[in-house]
Amino acid sequence: MTRVVLSIGSNLGDPLANLRSVVDALGDRVVAVSSVYATAPWGGVEQQDFLNATLIAQDDALDCRGWLRFGQDLEQRADRVRDVRWGPRSLDVDVVDCDGTVSADPELTLPHPRAHERAFVLVPWLEIEPDAALTVGGAPVVVADLLRSLDASEVAGVRRTDLALVAP
């Protein structure tokens, strides 16, 4: 069974509906869903804040490339446009980790090459998997330790909302 950690984000259109579309598409493959967090944009492009969440899912039928295609298909359905690097987007679905696979393939670098630097990925992941670890520099590092290594203002900028992706 392939287990994947997905980081999802949106700041265009109806961001909450865009995030919910991922949960809906996953259906019973969802293992865990984080709370929804509001975060300032990353990368220096002027734009509105994002809604972000992290999901864990499992599926016997999908390998890591299958998960990549799954995410890209959802982005396409949400009319994702890739005009500006780190720019606004209707939906971003990143494969953060897939069964602990390490790959330098330019099409699918695993784990996600900047996940260990991004509080908006690590905070929600830690919420749903407190003992999570991510391979960094060839060795597994506990996500809680990665979070502690980030600038405190970046971590504080990941604000939990009252919004939910699934019914209580």
Three-state DSSP state, 1: coil
| Segments of 11-158 assigned E as strands | 30-33, 37-39, 50-59, 92-98, 103-104, 109-110, 133-136, 139-142
Across 43-164, the runs of DSSP E, i.e. the strands, are 50-59, 92-98, 103-104, 109-110, 133-136, 139-142, 159-160
Q: What is the mean pLDDT of residues 55-75?
A: 94
Residue 141 has pLDDT above 90, yes or no: yes
Active-site annotation holds for 92: yes
Q: Is the confidence at residue 158, as pLDDT, over 60?
A: yes
The answer to whether 80 is a known catalytic residue is yes
Q: Which of 20, 29, 89, 118 is catalytic?
A: 89
Q: Which of 20, 80, 97, 118 is catalytic?
A: 80
Active-site hit among 28, 59, 63, 94? 94
The three-point CA angle 9-113-77 to 5° equals: 35
Token couple for 115: 């996940």
Indicate the pTM of the whole model.
0.92
Domains of the chain: residue spans and CATH: 2-113 (3.30.70.560)
Pull the structure tokens for residue 43.
Answer: 């990368």
Length of the chain: 168
60-79 mean pLDDT: 91
Tokens of 36: 């929804």
24-55 confidence digits (pLDDT tens)? 999 999 999 999 999 988 666 677 999 999 99
Q: Which of 49, 63, 69, 92 is catalytic?
A: 92
Residue appearing with tokens 């990549």: 68
Q: Report d(CA 37, CA 88) in Å as an integer.
A: 16
